[in-house]
Amino acid sequence: MAEMNHQILLASRPSGAVQPANFRLVEVPLAPLADGQVRVRNHYLSLDPYMRGRMNDSKSYAAPQPLDAVMIGGTAGEIVESRNPAWTVGTKVVGMAGWQEFATSDGTGMQRVDDSHVPLSAYLGPVGMPGVTAWYGLNRICTPKAGETVVVSAASGAVGSVVGQLAKQKGCRVVGIAGGSAKCSYVVDELGFDACLDYKAGAIDAALRDAAPDGVDGYFDNVGGAILDSVMLAMNAFGRIAVCGAIAGYDGEPLVMRRPTLILQSRLKIEGFIVSEHMGDWPAALGELGGLVAKGTLKYRESVAEGLARAPEAFIGLLKGRNFGKQLVKLI
């Protein structure tokens, strides 16, 4: 009897917050491989905030996730069967196989990775798309110099944790913003940020003035809304804001901006970016990030849900801040 694959499909589009019923778990038999194909057993699935936008049927920088198709997603796994001489059994690979246990591929879009010094799962976090996102927004948009102050929101997360550590390594004062005292303690005590503000404890305007007494030169914005608004008030003249994400508005919540005239008054540079549109920077970024993780000088934390069936719940939790570090699903 054929081996079975489990997949999670998008069953319906959410209106407002994502619900478990927006997903459907299915079991399908694995077809025999054709010539040129390989079978990948996915060990890890990456859950990322961008998936929320793909669930909507609206105009964006990327096409919507089709209904009744396997949910899009980054994966890390291992080739378990091959009818393609370029890919040998046992090779560790990363790709975009989606929310499923096995993938069948001709190798297009798959990349070999070496897990001897960097754990396989890290290729979905600090040495993968989130790490490159941090590297790009910090180096190309915030462009911080030693002695400057950098602020980053969602500071304990996959992107924010890398932003802050890279900025510290450049000699900056680094202030994180995160939800809750546990995340803030981790950001300061484990990651080495100079300060961290818990936005759930109340408005951050006054705390930010204390934590950044010389003002803010670079802000890496992962959340938008009220937090972006508060940081804008603290920006120095000619400050740079990398607009990476706006998770506070992904379920359709309105995002306010109290003082848009600050953009002119403080001569701010505010630039949004999509990391997949800057592929030329990926090799240098991944080389640097991989080296730092291998040496242990770039720390990271993971939230790991066990089993594909837990993916919807873990994804809903990610959008509500229940993850602590990079959200992964460990598959079979």
Binding site for ligand NDP (CB under 6 A): 48-50, 130, 133, 154, 156-160, 178-179, 183, 222-223, 227, 244-245, 247-248, 273-275, 318, 321, 323, 326
Residue 228 to residues 20, 50, 130, 308, Cα–Cα distance (Å): 30, 19, 20, 34
Cβ closest to ligand NDP, residue 62 vs residue 332: 62
CA distance 260 to 240: 15
CA distance 89 to 273: 37
CA distance 157 to 153: 9
Is 33:40 a contact under the CB 8 Å cutoff? Answer: no
Q: In whole angstroms, how close is the CB of 223 to ligand NDP at the nearest point?
A: 4
Name the nearest CA neighbour of 220 among 287, 282, 172. 172
How many of the other CB atoms lie within 10 Å of CB of 139? 18
User: Please, what is the end-to-end C-alpha distance for the chain in angstroms?
Assistant: 19
Give me the phi and psi of 46, to 5 degrees please.
-90, 130
Q: In whole angstroms, how close is the CB of 125 to ligand NDP at the nearest point?
A: 9
CA distance 216 to 228: 12
Cβ closest to ligand NDP, residue 48 vs residue 217: 48
Cβ closest to ligand NDP, residue 50 vs residue 193: 50
Buried b (16+ CB within 10 A) or exposed e, 159-190: bbbbbbbbbbebebbbbbbbbeeebbebbbee
Cβ closest to ligand NDP, residue 81 vs residue 302: 302
Q: In whole angstroms, how close is the CB of 124 to ligand NDP at the nearest point?
A: 10
Q: In whole angstroms, how close is the CB of 62 to ligand NDP at the nearest point?
A: 10
Cβ closest to ligand NDP, residue 49 vs residue 218: 49
Q: In whole angstroms, how close is the CB of 151 to ligand NDP at the nearest point?
A: 13
Q: In whole angstroms, how close is the CB of 231 to ligand NDP at the nearest point?
A: 12
CA distance 176 to 193: 7
Is 199:211 a contact under the CB 8 Å cutoff? Answer: no
Q: In whole angstroms, how close is the CB of 198 to ligand NDP at the nearest point?
A: 9
Cβ closest to ligand NDP, residue 33 vs residue 255: 255
Q: In whole angstroms, how close is the CB of 190 to ligand NDP at the nearest point?
A: 15
Cβ closest to ligand NDP, residue 36 vs residue 119: 119
Task: Render 158-191 in DSSP notation, one character per residue.
Answer: HHHHHHHHHHHHTT-EEEEEESSHHHHHIIIIIT
The first and second tokens of residue 200, run together, are: 């759930």
Cβ closest to ligand NDP, residue 113 vs residue 154: 154
